[in-house]
Amino acid sequence: MNFTNVMITGTGSYVPKNIVTNKDFAKNKFYNTKGEIFEASHEEIAEKFKAITGIHERRYADDNLVASDLGTIAAQLAIKDAGIDPESIDQIIVAQNFGDVKSTTNQTDVLPSLASRIKHNLQIENPSCVAYDIVFGCPGWIQGIIQANAYIRSGMAKRCLVIATETLSRVIDIHDRDSMIYADGAGACIVEAKESNKQEGIIGLEAGTWAKQEAHYLFFGKGNKKEADPNHRYLKMHGRKIYEFALTKVPQAMKICLEKSGAHINDVSKILIHQANEKMDHEIIKRLFRLYKERKIPEGIMPMSIHKLGNSSVATIPTLLDRIRKGTSEQKHEINKGDLILMASVGAGMNINAIAYRY
């Protein structure tokens, strides 16, 4: 019996060279939302921040690069890895949230779309290669994979290029402690139909949006400093609300995804979760296993990159996947043929999604 599977056949990522450590934030004065300066020393703030998020350092893009440039580099590497002709790509799907933001401003630019810019950069001539962006918060790359899967299974596409790219360093308030979380980066993959005598690739999906009470947990708002221009806005979040939301909803979504795939948590080899906050991610996994009445979590099941790369939003999972596949991840992990991988993310919207993938 033959199956038509939807497979990731190539990956690529771009991690900027500029390393920004927690100590580098010592020159910034941090204020709370009332405009009051924090009395704690930078050492105290940085130590507490590291204990919660796990972040030691993050990467920022060169001043002359924008998100579409990062996405282009990741895409080129994914195309090369898959060994395909770029002209054979049916869709270019770009997950992003702030468009191209030049280093001298935090104004977003999405005219034309980043997907069109990247298609131009790749010099793809084929007009049937449709290029478009999706804005879905941090889960954008997974949502791009979900869309590619739908198009391929419907027969409307055979091969898609899914890219995630972001330069969060351009939209942060340097007087907000949360600015230490964010980073820049890009990841990409080729997704295509493959015939096989067994089910592989994407075998389970789940996605949802909670927007009645939760829509503005992440938002654009004025700077924390009292003198901040109210017309100059930055990436902001209600961290505690996001944390509590994620701990409740993400494990449930991951379990539903596994159930749809017909798999059990004990079948999972690796869990690639959005690199938002190390403490939160560990708690999510703990709660997922508890949903199965499992107390023991296998060692090494959840690779992490947040310690060195920070939170690059849409780019965290595809970057982590690529670096594991290429053997360049900070922690030594392997993904072998037949392994079941569970990928999941949570972010602005509030959106959650998950994919069960048989490697």
Exposure b/e, 179-193, CB count within 10 A at least 16 = b: bbbbbbbbbbbbbbb
Q: Which residues contact 127 (CB under 8 A, 6 or more apart)?
A: none
Instruction: For residues 115 and 232, state if they share a domain.
Output: no
Please indicate, yes or no, whether the overall pTM of this predicted structure exceeds 0.75.
Answer: yes
- Counting the structural domains of the chain, the total is 2
Residue ending a domain, among 196, 230, 253, is 196
In tens digits, the chain (359 residues) has pLDDT values of: 788 999 999 999 999 999 999 999 988 899 999 999 998 888 899 898 999 999 999 999 999 999 999 999 999 999 999 999 999 999 999 999 999 999 988 889 999 999 999 999 999 999 999 999 999 999 999 999 999 999 999 999 999 999 999 999 999 999 999 999 999 999 999 999 999 889 999 999 999 999 999 999 999 999 999 888 888 999 999 999 999 999 999 999 999 999 999 999 999 999 999 999 999 999 999 999 999 999 999 999 999 999 999 999 999 999 999 999 999 877 789 999 999 999 999 999 999 999 999 99
Residue ending a domain, among 134, 165, 196, is 196
Instruction: For residues 151 and 228, state if they share a domain.
Output: no
Q: What is the CATH number of the domain that holds 263?
A: 3.40.47.10
Angle at CA 349, nearest 5°, toward 344 and 352? 20
Provide the domain limits for residue 109: 3-196
Instruction: For residues 209 and 280, state if they share a domain.
Output: yes
Query: For residues 288 and 248, what is the distance between their CA atoms, to the nearest angstrom?
Result: 10
Tokens 């994407």 belong to 202
